[in-house]
Amino acid sequence: MHRLSQTELSRTPPAPIYIAHRGLSARFPENTMAAFEAAMAAGAAMIELDVTFSRDRRLAVIHDERVNRTTNGRGPVSAHTMKQLQRLDAGSWFDPAFAGQAIPELADVLDLVNGRIAVNIEIKPEAYESSSRDDAVERQILDLLAERNMLDDAIISSFAWWSLARVRSLSPAVAIGLLSARPADEHLLFWYRRLGGFSWHPDWRVVTAAQVALLHTAGARVFPFIAAGRIDSARLLAMGVDGLIVDDPSQMAAHQWS
């Protein structure tokens, strides 16, 4: 399996890798066990997933702040206990064939993928808390990874860079990815250096060849992510990006515009 420790930064990057955005989410309901299993079967090098708190401070794997879009429930994720979340149907909204798929808990996803594939864990901004707690989201994630000997097989990413600062304060070596919807600039580079980052995860629409070169000079991997189901793979691959965070492996093809 591809290892992601900080020493990897000095090595020659591999060919651009397929990172499965919320699993194989073009064909399976996003952020479900079915989507993650399918991504592994399709040859992904890494799965990307989202985590936030349930009401009882467990780590739910779901993208939105509310359950409305991807389940048969309603209301904020944080208003439901983990058991309540797991009783919701997280598959039928995508296709009736996936009825009964549940919102996973992060621990269960890590058990599924451990030893088989790397994982990119995105901390949702609403899970960040300015005061550090023993059960803070950052501590919980690191503890779960350490328990499974997966610290070298994970990237922890977020748009909430203060959350990533806490991750770094707790772990000197885990790979950190800075998510961004804006082009790379000195502000991003400042934070990348401050965090001892591993990678930049930009909205593909803001990426330029000059920015890719700049981040590579800083030692960073560049993993653009798909937006609204669309990505210009040919343009990005020509820039020398290190991988693409996409909904479907077909979107890795150089001719793909979807």
Quick check: is 63 catalytic?
Answer: yes
Considering 21, 187, 201, 255, which one is annotated as catalytic? Answer: 21
In 3-state terms, what secondary structure has residue 242? Answer: coil
Catalytic residue among 63, 80, 187, 216: 63
Task: Write the DSSP symbol of residue 125.
Answer: G
CB under 8 A, 24+ apart: contacts of 164-167: 164/123, 164/195, 164/197, 165/194, 165/195, 166/132, 166/136, 166/138, 167/123, 167/138, 167/141, 167/142
The Cα 47–Cα 28 span in angstroms is 13
DSSP string, 55-81: TTS-EEE-SSSBSTTTSS--SBGGGS-
- How many CB atoms neighbour CB 219 within 10 A? 15
The residues carrying an active-site annotation are 21, 63
